[in-house]
Amino acid sequence: MITLTHPFINDPKYWHERAEELRSIAKLLDDTEVERQIRAIGVSYDRLAKHVQLWCEGIKGVNRALLKA
């Protein structure tokens, strides 16, 4: 099992904010290919945020189940 230690790594808000930051940067770019790539990374960060959210909800559900056992 991989343990990630960055304090915000398991926070969906962190990844959504990084995605928004990339979208803001992309608006400033003149190179359409680079803009496309930056936006694609932002989309990936949004997907990661959703994955982290679901993972955290699953962990909370497992913890609740263990407490009831």
Q: Give 37's pLDDT tier (boundaries 50, 70, 90).
A: very high
Ramachandran quadrant class, 67 (left: phi over 0; alpha: psi -120 to 50; beta: rest): alpha
Among residues 15, 14, 35, which one has the least CA distance to residue 24?
35
Q: Which tokens go with 7?
A: 């304090």
Dihedral angle computed from the Cα positions of residues 25, 46, 53 and 18, in that order, rounded to the nearest 10 degrees: -10
Rounded to an integer, what distance in angstroms lies between the CA atom of residue 14 and that of residue 33?
26
The 10s digit of each residue's pLDDT in 47-68 is 999 999 988 888 766 555 555 5
Domain residue spans of the chain: 12-68
